[in-house]
Structure 1
Amino acid sequence: MNLINKKDLRNLQIKKLTEFEKTQQKKLEDVILKEKLIKSPVLHQAENVGISISMALEVNTAPIIAALWKMNKKVYIPRCLPKRKMEFTRYNKNTSLEKTKFGVLENHDPKAEVKNNLDLMIVPGLAYGLDKNSRLGFGGGYYDRFLKKYPTQTLSLVNSIQTFDQTKWKIEDHDIPMENLILINEGDDEQCKS
């Protein structure tokens, strides 16, 4: 099998996801993925949950975060640090957020509660190889570095255009596979309509 260069695949996926974000199908899939997550035993066992504030091309995490609060989960969001490191800060309704140069919202309050030993981390990505639960991220290596230092239960929410039956990119030694993938399956949208 010919592998696709990671940079080329990232550009391709960003283009596909940017188109997909404008569709009704994406809105529907985001709702389905949220519902599947809420029912997930992995989530029910977790008290401290790491999740990012999504960008438009990602699965929308705003309704997921609202649901986590309703379930009395403690929510932590990432903030980037120098040298491609990150940490997770407590996030609630009163947290003020700032947009980074990457367009990501983060909590930059120096007094924010930091917790890196989380029970569950919901990890964003651009593409997922179903054969190995491999994840292609945005290329910064932040999550792989963080998970190497703070291993925890991982989960990704994957919409229909992010999946590859076979991993089509080279898996590096530092790439950490996801333990759980929540996927869109055939017939999911039918269930949503009923």
Structure 2
Amino acid sequence: MKKSELRKIQINKLKRFAKTEDKKIEDTILLKKLMESDLIKNSQTIGITASLPLEVDTSEVIAHLWDEGKEVYLAKAENDQDHTLNFFHYTYMSKLKKSSFGVEEIADPDAMVNNHLDLVIVPGLAFALDSHVRLGFGGGYYDRFLAKYNPKTVSLVNSQMQFQHAEWPVENTDIPVQTLITTETH
């Protein structure tokens, strides 16, 4: 299946799932598993995206990271030809604005940028459990960032985002996520 076709299917599936109680339950499980992980314990600077309603809710993750004394950096896709992604220091005092993608981003152009992060929580629409490749939203922002900076990576993967194998074409520019946190109990 083409990536563009699967993206449409996944976006619709995730929008429907976002209206259910199951999504809230799964978000809570994923948050708990992430916060209890060594990845969080061993990281001080953490990059994250402000989630869209169809994604795993990152607002609780961010609040917990602040409570743990972690430095949080919010992703911002730059409107350039290179599809650059930068991470801006994010505190409870930061002012946010919606990007053209509908994602909340830091509004202050003078906010500190840190792209050399201990950990990046990578968003996506679909994840292959066997290879850890992901299907993102299609701009290549994260793959370019990960290829350039090579941070530790983790993704929060609810039941609707899980695929046993990639059912989409995987290109050599697609960077697998190192750790997938799922709602499964093993």
TM-score normalised to the size of structure 2? 0.97
Deviations 1:78-130 (A, max 9, x none): 11211211110000100000101110111131210110000000000000011
Distance 1:159 1:122 in 2: 14
TM-score normalised to the size of structure 1? 0.93
Distance 1:50 1:76 in 2: 5
1:21 to 8, 18, 21: 18
1:93 aligned residue? 92
2:9 aligned residue? 12
Name the amino acid aligned to 1:136. Answer: L
1:39 to 14, 36, 39: 36
Distance 2:166 2:77 in 1: 28
Name the amino acid aligned to 2:29. Answer: I
> In the alignment, does 2:118 pair up with 1:103?
no
Distance 2:3 2:109 in 1: 35
Distance 1:137 1:69 in 2: 26
2:62 aligned residue? 65
Deviations 1:61-83 (A, max 9, x none): 01110000000000000112112
Runs of 4+ in 1 over 2 A off after TM superposition: none
Q: Tell me the secondary structure at the aligned position of residue 58 of structure 1.
A: coil
- Give the superposed CA RMSD: 1.0
Q: Tell me the secondary structure at the aligned position of residue 78 of structure 1.
A: strand
1:48 to 45, 50, 61: 45
How far residue 186 of structure 1 moved from its aligned partner, in angstroms, is 5.4
Name the amino acid aligned to 1:153. Answer: K
Distance 1:128 1:79 in 2: 22
Structure of greater Rg: 1
Deviations 1:127-153 (A, max 9, x none): 001110110000000000011111100
Distance 1:90 1:101 in 2: 20
Gaps of 5+ in 1: 188-194
1:156 aligned residue? 155
> In the alignment, does 2:176 pair up with 1:177?
yes
